[in-house]
């Protein structure tokens, strides 16, 4: 008899505790169900069930076999579902969750190109800076910073790495000087998130002489990095911002990267989804599309490499020249701002948080 079918029959008998009950559930005769189990026992050379006139019970060997067979049948069902899913076009609503700033600056082009590629899928995007439970909240896929993941059972896959960048405007640096070591940040107004301990947020740099810890004094605190970017562009101090947020500002010369010989802990961006089992085609294709978009050689990956610390990736030096007219306008505007605000007052602004 078919061994896989015999396994399925045995599991049903064990679950229901009855040959008659299993026969009814599987639409088989009681004699056929009994024979399936007997064939398994003959193949294995051991008794799987203790039979009496009143009840059935698993033997020790039967309990061990039942546990392993369940895993085998579940894995087989998953493989079959995967094959079936590949033969279906992605359709329906795709619920996506991502951090606010990453979503605003990096996710829109991915969703646009995916929607053009799979017009039968309706992307439904939620931006949230909090812990997210994908299963309880009904999300199909998340693009998350690790600390924002709450479900222990979700499947994760690394998407990309971001770098924290110390930066300021050329006009600010011309007026206040350029920090060359982490300790120099203590002499400059810091644009940073609020610290739970009050004051500035502690930063841990690793450089030529090892680890350096500093706690710059906040001139302005905001729990949203886009707001901090705006303050930095106004020449109000030195900011430490994610590469995906400031890459274009650095490339255009609106901001200048500082402390190239030092690095901060990277930001790991992760894809998360509830389960590999019965993965819908819309989820599988979106994950593949994300990976393709951020893979080495793509435009987002090139942006990340351009804004990574020089010791972190090998790259050619970027041209120092920028368009003279645009640069002059930026410098004049920033200088006027820094004259008006030489050292910004301590202000805390409530807004969506870091990522």
Reported as a pLDDT band with limits 50, 70 and 90, residue 132 is confident
Both 141 and 278 in a single domain? yes
User: Helices in 204-322 by DSSP H: which ranges?
Assistant: 225-233, 243-252, 281-294, 299-307
Residue located via tokens 């940073």: 192
Both 223 and 321 in a single domain? yes
Both 135 and 49 in a single domain? no
Reported as a pLDDT band with limits 50, 70 and 90, residue 307 is very low
Q: Of the spans 83-87, 103-107, 297-301, which averages the highest pLDDT?
A: 103-107
H or E element: which one contains 51? strand 49-51
Q: What is the pLDDT at residue 60?
A: 94
Owning domain of residue 292: 92-161+268-300
**Sign of torsion, CA 256 188 199 232?**
negative
How many beta carbons lie within 10 A of that of residue 176, not counting itself? 18
CATH number of domain containing 72? 1.10.10.10
Reported as a pLDDT band with limits 50, 70 and 90, residue 345 is very low
Q: What total of structural domains would you count in the chain?
A: 3
In a domain, residue 355? The reply is no
Does the structure show a pLDDT above 80 at 338?
no
Indicate the residue among 86, 108, 133 that finishes a domain: 86
Reported as a pLDDT band with limits 50, 70 and 90, residue 202 is confident
In a domain, residue 122? The reply is yes
Higher local confidence (pLDDT), 298 or 216:
216
CATH number of domain containing 237? 3.40.190.10
In the chain, the percentage of residues whose pLDDT exceeds 90 is: 52
Q: Convert 44-81 into a string of H (helix), E (strand) and C (coil).
A: HCCCCEEECCCCEEECHHHHHHHHHHHHHHHHHHHHHH
Both 230 and 283 in a single domain? no
In a domain, residue 354? The reply is no
Residue located via tokens 């040959």: 19
Reported as a pLDDT band with limits 50, 70 and 90, residue 198 is low
Q: Give the lowest-confidence range in 89-98, 118-127, 254-263, 276-285.
A: 276-285
Residues in the chain: 355
Does the structure show a pLDDT above 90 at 310?
no
3-state secondary structure of 1: coil
Degrees to nearest 5, angle at CA 138 with 132 and 141: 70
Please state the pTM of the whole predicted model.
0.57
Average pLDDT of the segment spanning 50-57: 84
Both 148 and 174 in a single domain? no
| Distance (Å, whole) CA 259 – CA 184 | 10
| Distance (Å, whole) CA 213 – CA 219 | 19
Name the burial class of residue 106, with classes exposed (0-12), middle (13-18) and buried (19+) by CB atoms within 10 angstroms of its CB.
buried
Rg of the Cα atoms in the chain? 29
Residue located via tokens 């901001």: 255
Both 319 and 235 in a single domain? yes
In the chain, the percentage of residues whose pLDDT exceeds 70 is: 78
In a domain, residue 77? The reply is yes
Higher local confidence (pLDDT), 128 or 335:
128
Both 177 and 228 in a single domain? yes
In a domain, residue 29? The reply is yes
pLDDT digits (tens, 9 = 90+) for 244-272: 899 999 999 999 999 999 999 988 889 99
Q: What is the pLDDT at residue 146?
A: 56
Q: What is the pLDDT at residue 337?
A: 41
Q: What is the pLDDT at residue 279?
A: 82
Does the structure show a pLDDT above 70 at 325?
no
Both 98 and 226 in a single domain? no
Q: What is the pLDDT at residue 130?
A: 84
Q: What is the pLDDT at residue 185?
A: 95
In a domain, residue 121? The reply is yes
In a domain, residue 18? The reply is yes
Q: What is the pLDDT at residue 227?
A: 94
DSSP secondary-structure letter at 103? Answer: I
* Bridge partners, 95 (sequence order): 124
Indicate the residue among 54, 86, 118 that finishes a domain: 86
Average pLDDT, the chain: 81
């Amino acid at each position: 008899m078919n061994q896989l079918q015999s396994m399925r029959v045995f599991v049903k008998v064990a679950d229901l505790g009855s040959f008659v009950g299993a026969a009814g559930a599987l639409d088989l005769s009681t004699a056929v169900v009994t024979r399936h189990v007997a064939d398994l026992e003959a193949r294995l050379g051991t008794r799987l069930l203790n039979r009496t006139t009143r009840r059935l019970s698993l033997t020790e060997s039967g309990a061990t076999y039942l546990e392993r067979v369940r895993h085998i049948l579940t894995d087989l069902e998953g493989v079959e579902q995967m094959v079936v899913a590949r033969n279906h076009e992605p359709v329906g609503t795709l619920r996506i969750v991502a951090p606010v700033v990453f979503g605003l600056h990096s996710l829109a082009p991915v969703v646009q190109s995916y929607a053009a590629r799979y017009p039968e899928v309706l992307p439904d995007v939620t931006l949230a800076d909090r812990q997210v439970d994908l299963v309880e909240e009904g999300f199909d896929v998340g693009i998350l910073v690790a600390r924002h993941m709450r479900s222990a059972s979700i499947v994760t896959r690394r998407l990309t790495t971001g770098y924290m960048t110390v930066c300021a405007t050329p006009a600010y640096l011309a007026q206040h000087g350029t920090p060359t070591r982490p300790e120099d940040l203590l002499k400059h107004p810091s644009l940073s998130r609020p610290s739970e301990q009050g004051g500035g947020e502690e930063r841990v740099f690793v450089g030529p002489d090892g680890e350096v810890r500093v706690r710059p004094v906040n001139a302005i605190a905001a729990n949203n990095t886009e707001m901090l970017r705006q303050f930095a562009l106004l020449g109000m101090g030195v900011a430490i911002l994610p590469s995906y947020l400031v890459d274009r500002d650095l490339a255009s010369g609106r901001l200048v990267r500082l402390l190239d010989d030092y690095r901060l802990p990277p930001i790991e961006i992760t894809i998360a989804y509830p389960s590999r089992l019965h993965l819908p085609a819309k989820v599988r294709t979106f994950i593949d599309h994300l990976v393709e978009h951020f893979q080495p050689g793509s435009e987002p990956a090139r942006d990340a490499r351009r804004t990574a610390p020089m010791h972190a990736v090998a790259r050619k030096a970027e041209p120092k020249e920028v368009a003279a007219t645009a640069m002059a306008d930026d410098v004049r505007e920033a200088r006027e701002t820094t004259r008006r605000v030489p050292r910004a007052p301590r202000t805390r602004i409530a807004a969506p948080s870091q990522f």
